[in-house]
Chain A
Amino acid sequence: MPRDGGPAIEVNALTKRFGDFVAVDHISFTIDRGEVFGFLGPNGAGKSTTIRMLSGLLLPSEGSATVDGLDVGTETATLRTRIGYMPQLFSLYPDLTTRENLEFYGGLYGVGDDAIVRRIEELTQTIGLQSVLDQLTGTLSTGWRQRAALACAIVHEPPIVFLDEPTSGVDQQARQQFWDLIADLAAGGTTVLVTTHLMEEAERCTRLGMISRGSLIALDTPRALLETLEGLVFVVDVDEPLAGVRALSERSFVRDVGLSGTRIRVRVAEDLSDVRARLGQALATAGIAVREIRPTRPSLEDVFVALVGDAGGEDQ
């Protein structure tokens, strides 16, 4: 039954059309076992559609994909027992307690009565659910709900887990803890495919696919993606940041500029010499006093914008 030999997920020119609209457009990638693969892109880019195809909820229009060696188009029944799926919307029964939800989902996947007791104990330990085990899930905070939902998604010990925007709207601490849980899962050999539109947290994935308008625009480790912009992002400290942003946005060598707090964050074109002088001069011409210009670490959002935005492409 387990097909531990091959890759966890293999996607080949997978395409989904809704009428004229191409939601997912010939994407291909492979995810190895134990990876935390991040699927990164704005709402409507095709993340959820892809996950739904991979979990057998939607049939591909074209292309193919296997999950745990099973074809997503033809072997959906077996497929569903091999994956855990945590949808974007809160999917637990709010008028059941966490324990009752776990029992329910365990029952759905045919986990036996004895096994479920043991499994709940296990999950209580690993996910830290003690304090909320007997609370109605409807009364939990967003962070706890997401943890409970994760527990339900993995109650049948699937080798592959899909998490759709699991940390949307939770606080910083809960977010850190949730990513720790994801790391734990992966360390235990589970393959995790997680979608997010939050670029910062995507750095905790082992590999990232950036998706925009249905197409995969980048596929690499976070570090490699960040290195593409190394030395191109600067922080500028000025007296009038708003005026500074305006002045810089008119310069053709400036690719992207915005405020970060009271400082200006600016990304410049590649292969420029003496960027600091150019920036300083642009601001001086506009009569803006500059306190400091220094390079800063690029973010994944910078990478995304560079890939999508520099082409002048607005979503149509």
Chain B
Amino acid sequence: MSRPDTLRRTLAVARAEWIHNWRDPRSLAIIIALPIMLLLLYGYAINFELRELTFAVQDWDRSEQSADLIDTLARSDYFTFHSLVETGEQIERLIEGGEVRFAIVIMPGFGEQIAAGKTGRVQVLLDGADSTTAGIAQGYLEGVMRAHSARLMKRWAKSRGIPASAAQPPIQPEPRVLYNPELKTASFIVPGLIAVIMTMLAALLTSGCIVREREAGSFEGLASSPIAPVEIIIGKLLPYAGIAVFDVMLCIATGGLIFHIWPSGDRAALLVVSLVYLIASLSIGLTISSVARSHQVATLIAFLTTMLPTMLLTGFVFPVRSMPKLLQYISQMIPATHFLVVIRAIYLKGTGVGPYIREVTALALISLVFVVVAAKAFRKSLE
């Protein structure tokens, strides 16, 4: 078996698969519409929640400045003012009862500090049981407060005749999260969501490509040619690797445009690591496609085997270090566990992949294992 022959057969399979994807409307819909749709659906759900964000205020200060802050929050598009409360117990009751999503506690001396050009302290109490909403609420709250703060700062600096940059930020919100200390913010959720959506999508993409040929009959033509199983697997992987990276870009763009959250670190490196990561999922899809009896079954298995573990065992929702030991070991074998660390770092910390070489190596190893599994699972036979 000479090398050019191997390459030629592999590329023949890749080319046929590539053409198929561009000509089949269903495939195109999965490639282009599905990732955008999933992110949009999630975005819509969160936006809907945001319109409902009611809050209570405990104002120890009762100054002009505190009233100004409450007024600003109440007039924002995102928040609805519920009531002024007197005690901490009242706040807890309101949050527990679901009547408000968060509460603001304005500390005594807030007005005086602002007036003196110092930092006034505000405590924010969030309902962390619904971490998604809480995270988004916190994000918006910080945004609103920051804008308010900047206005105050400008006003203060102007009144003193000094440049605004010399001033201290006048309001420092101190978020304290109830019930869920590991609160995830929107900027934390979006990269995680990209990891989950892409791992599922990648497996979905390839889960059909062998069983479909079996169902259509073209498998017999392929299998009765002298092509080797590994050539078929690599040939099938190639076009989908390209498609998967394209979809990651689509997800990043959608996340940026809808959630206003863009990766702040090395974006090229992110795409490369995504590719390494997704080869594992693509190979899982191919493995399923080799053994599944029908296209539908393959799709369902691909969905279940990628979506569930990725959502539950990788730190997307529940932090890995709070899991039982056994599950922690298992989570190490799931590619998304490692990828989440890298993608979050690139999004949030603005780094490259340099510090995460351990995770990238793990991803490469896992992907390699799954490619080998896919090649072994593939049978050039009709039995």
Direct A–B touching, Cβ under 8 Å: no
- Name A's B-contacting residues (CB within 8 A): none
